[in-house]
Amino acid sequence: MAITINSSRDNADDKTVFFTITHGGKDYKWHGDIPKDADAQAYLDAKSDTLKAEILRNQYRDAEVPQLDGKSALESFEAWVSAGAENAEVSETQVKVHAVTAKDAVTSERQQTTTKSVEEEVSTTEIVKEGGKYVEKTTTETVTKQVVEGVTEEVDLYNEAGEKIGKHTVPVMESYEVSPAVEAVDEVTEKVVVKAAETISKKSWVDTH
């Protein structure tokens, strides 16, 4: 790759060099700023690999080039082009089923209950007009209500000498499940393509001068 300097222009802090890069039988016109006291030819020659990589970046603008071990950026780019200028498929591992840790059922105790019907009298007082007078009347009726009660049982009661001395009422208890048992579940993952492989088309070079 040959670099030919066409012209240069001094600026306040640096200088702009207009040059032509010949590579692969084609000329690429370019310009760039370099240090004011630098030898333009030597400076650009030293950066020839960088300039060539920049040519490729401008021609393959959507390129996603992986850096190869032991290779320069230019060598990695050239290898990418030689392999077909294809951005690699991007995939990721996603969790399809989350792992679950096995747990035993949690139980506790509570008093048993029973529902029974209870009759009670309910009185209702109202004021009515009868024969031109207001009369307070009370009506009583029997209603049946459902009442929940704790279940109890009588057990023998003993003194410290072990002698039966009577009866004692205690609640009847039952076990109940606070939370059910949980079976262990292994994590299940799957590989999902989040971006398909894509061949990048080469774009025409646009001269900068």
Residue 36 pLDDT exceeds 70: yes
Chain position carrying tokens 């630098």: 38
**Which residue range(s) make up the domain with 57?**
2-91
**pLDDT at residue 43 greater than cutoff 80:** yes
For residue 75, what is the DSSP state? H
- Whether residues 82 and 111 fall in one domain: no
Taking CA 185 as the corner, what is the angle to CA 183 and CA 190, rounded to the nearest 5 degrees?
Answer: 165
Task: Specify the pLDDT at position 131.
Answer: 85
* Number of structural domains the chain divides into: 2
pLDDT at residue 1 greater than cutoff 70? no
Are residues 87 and 112 located together in one domain of the fold? no
pLDDT, tens digit, for every residue of 180-195?
Answer: 999 999 999 999 999 9
Residues 61 and 116 in one domain: no
Whether 64 and 122 share a structural domain: no
Residue 13 sits in the same domain as residue 70 = yes
pTM of the model: 0.54
pLDDT band at 62 (very low <50, low <70, confident <90, very high): very high
What single-letter DSSP state applies at residue 88?
P
According to DSSP, the residues that pair with 17 across neighbouring strands are: 8, 32
Q: Which helix (H) or strand (E) holds 190?
A: strand 188-195
For the cut 90, the answer to whether the pLDDT of residue 132 exceeds it is: no
Is residue 149 in a domain? yes
Measure the CA–CA gap between 137 and 128, rounded to whole angstroms. 7
The answer to whether residue 84 sits within a structural domain is yes
Does 121 lie in the same domain as 55? Answer: no
Q: What's the token pair of residue 122? A: 């309910």
Q: Using the predicted structure, report yes or no on whether residue 205 has a pLDDT greater than 80.
A: yes
Task: Verify that 126 and 52 share a domain, yes or no.
Answer: no
Cα(140)–Cα(129) distance, integer angstroms = 19
- CA 96 to chain centroid, in Å, comes to 12
pLDDT tens digits along 157-180 = 999 999 999 999 999 999 999 999
**Cα–Cα distance for residue pair 141/123, rounded to 1 Å:** 6
Highest-confidence segment of 46-55, 128-137, 179-188: 179-188
Query: Across 24-131, where does the E strand assignment appear?
Result: 26-35, 86-87, 90-97, 106-111, 113-130
Give the pLDDT score at 24. 78
Which burial class, exposed, middle or buried, applies to 77 when counting CB atoms under 10 A from its CB (0-12, 13-18, 19+)? buried
Residues 112, 157: Cα–Cα separation, whole Å = 22
Same domain, 15 and 82: yes
CB 18 within 8 A of CB 6: yes
Answer with the one of 56, 91, 126 that is the final residue of a domain: 91
